[in-house]
Amino acid sequence: MRPSSPLAAATARVAGSDAFYLAAKENIQTHGGMGFTWEMDCHLFYRRAKLMAVQLGSNPHWKDRLVHLWNAQAA
Residue predicted with more confidence, 71 or 40: 71
Domain count, the chain: 1
pLDDT at 23 over 90: yes
Spatial neighbors of 34 by CB under 8 A, at least 6 apart, are: none
pLDDT-derived band at 10 (thresholds 50, 70, 90) equals confident
Give the end-to-end CA distance of the chain in Å, rounded to a whole number. Answer: 19
Rounded percentage of the chain residues whose pLDDT exceeds 90: 8
Spatial neighbors of 8 by CB under 8 A, at least 6 apart, are: none
- Round to whole Å and give the CA distance between 63 and 15: 10
Going from the C-alpha of 4 to that of each of 21, 48, 50, 66, the distances in angstroms are 26, 29, 28, 11
Q: What integer best gives the mean pLDDT of the chain? A: 83
pLDDT-derived band at 22 (thresholds 50, 70, 90) equals very high
**Full domain range(s) for residue 50:** 5-74
